[in-house]
Amino acid sequence: MSRLSGKIAVVVGGQGGIGGAIAERFAAEGAAVYATSRRAEEGDVGHGAGTLRTRRVDASDVAALAAFFEAVRREAGRVDVLAVSAGIAEFATLDAIGEDHFDRTFGLNVRALLFATKAATAIMPDGGSVVLVGSIAGGIGTKGYGVYGATKAAVRSFARTWANELAPRNIRVNVVAPGPTDTAMMAAASDEVRQTLKTLIPLGRMGRVDDVAAAALFLASEEASFITGAELPVDGGMAQV
């Protein structure tokens, strides 16, 4: 039996990259998935045992997020599973950080995540699941990515608090924390940078988006029914050993 059969799932930032892989995996496991993106081509298609519905939504626009979740409520009646993957990572050392860089990064990685989770859990029945996409960057000090790392530390903190607040409703909140992963953003890195990263990963390779999607599926499913407030690293051991 598919692990998300009959579930209504929303993936914010669910087109391309890690978010797209999560949306596709959820649909393959039987969920009716609503996947948002700023550049999405809207449409509904069958996907595996479930369906994948793409919707154009700017996650950094709180009003647009609220309107989207209201549309999901009218159409589907609820949200059983939420995954939030929308985010950006831009290089800037302390001396170069400006207000625009800070506001843009925190606006999408933290503010949008907060209000998406608020809207989703307002229409989530007891026993639902929230999976937030964090990063091992939230626990290490990567030169030039201080603001990004701080946003991911905030995601980890939110998960702990919300897991506590939502426990009476048996809604679980967890974080999946990727390490360096082969995405379009990482593809822009030089071969030298990629090779350096590989030397820091005990398993000797970059992560794949499917690795992260599998972890997100586990946390979203009943297989993780006694796990909440946790962070699951998917980093080949990079920040673990």
Query: How wide is the angle at C-alpha 59 spanned by C-alphas 78 and 62, nearest 5°?
Result: 80
Instruction: Tell me if 22 sits within 8 A of 34, measured CB to CB.
Output: no
Q: Which of 34, 68, 115, 148 is catalytic?
A: 148
The dihedral of CA 178, 184, 186, 191: what is its sign? Answer: positive
The dihedral of CA 119, 117, 18, 183: what is its sign? Answer: positive
User: What does the DSSP 8-state code read for residue 227?
Assistant: -
Paired with 83 in beta bridges are 11, 131
Annotated catalytic residue 148: yes
At 191 the three-state DSSP class reads helix
Residues annotated as catalytic (active site), given as ranges: 148
